Amino acid sequence: MSAIRTINVSLGDRSYPIVIGNGLLNGGFDLTDFVPGSDCLIVSNDVVAPLYRDRLLPNLSGKAISTLDLPDGESHKSMATMRTVLDQLVSKGANRDTTVIALGGGVVGDIAGFAAACYMRGVAFIQVPTTLLAQVDASVGGKTGVNHPHGKNLIGAFHQPRVVMIDIDTLSTLPDRELRAGLAEIIKYGAICDIDFFAWLEENMAALLERDTEALVYAIGRSCELKARIVADDERELGRRAILNFGHTFAHAIENCQGYGEWLHGEAVAAGMVLAASLSDIAEAENERLQALVAAAGLPVKAPAIAVDEWLRAMGLDKKVQNKQLRFVLLGALGESMLTSSYDAGKLRRILGGSAV
């Protein structure tokens, strides 16, 4: 077991630690101090639960545990699935001191967190993310929710966890495609606000793909540090936090147009970042540098073929839209980003048209 690294998300009385290391499951990190009552509901899915649920139980010694396994996949991130979590809480007679624990990837965390936010107007919530994407993005910051048939994450709430426990040992069973998808969100942090981290990724991408423990701990930790800092400044995405959506306006449109689950979220983010960089006013050499890093991670640099009008329809449901005006997170340079409604509309159509049939 390596040394535990702890990063604090500073939100006043809603502050919480992100705990990173290996060997944290099987009782390696005690979660009971973050559980206000005696009852816990572990929400997982039918892929992760057989691998890790029994290994989580020693971290909750002395607590009364009930469990619920959801179907796996983005296509199940819906109100119907979320209601099964609420139904389980009701059927077990859960009180306001019950704790909901998400064990799984971003879909599990978003659904379980949204249910925790809604049940009795809010019960305690713990994140135990088991995918790289969830460890560096979805589990941190308190965004919870589900998809609507017409748009991604349109229904949800902000609900901060009590603690995020990241055991990188769970990445040993993660399929290669899922690992690469998580690397997209890691690349994002370097692109939007940390050029030194971006350069480190260029030097260490091979080690990350080989699942080198030291490289993973550093990359996950640095990503969480950057996100924690941004969330502490802007918890409810009223300003600076929006830069975390770099590439996501395009990515969510890809997922919506292709069907949820056809492209993994990280794959769509990768192609979306390339499109956002192309729309940005940056040097071509920097654009090429971003594309090269995305490609080195084994991620797509080209979006699927979507008609321009379909792109614009899907992007019109983006949560950053104001007064029916699209806003994008664009780069001023690698490592510098901003949310803006000032962009070349003709250039946008040309970029989108490059993917059209």
Catalytically active residues, by annotation: 121, 143, 185, 227, 237, 241, 245, 248, 252, 265
Q: By the 8 A CB rule, do 343 and 206 touch? A: no
Q: By the 8 A CB rule, do 142 and 161 touch? A: yes
Q: By the 8 A CB rule, do 233 and 240 touch? A: yes
Residue 116 structure tokens:
């925790």
How much of the chain is helix, strand and coil, in % rounded to 5? 50, 20, 30
Q: By the 8 A CB rule, do 3 and 24 touch? A: no
Burial 296-308 (b: 16+ CB within 10 A, else e): bbbbbeebeebeb
Beta sheet of 39-45, edge-to-edge order: 5-9, 16-21, 164-167, 124-129, 99-104, 39-45, 64-70
Bridge-partner residues for 9, per DSSP? 16
Please list the alpha-helical segments (H only) found in the chain. 49-56, 79-91, 106-118, 132-133, 176-193, 195-209, 213-233, 248-258, 265-279, 284-296, 308-315, 345-353
Instruction: Report how far residue 134's alpha carbon sits from residue 117's, in angstroms, rounded to the nearest whole number.
Output: 19
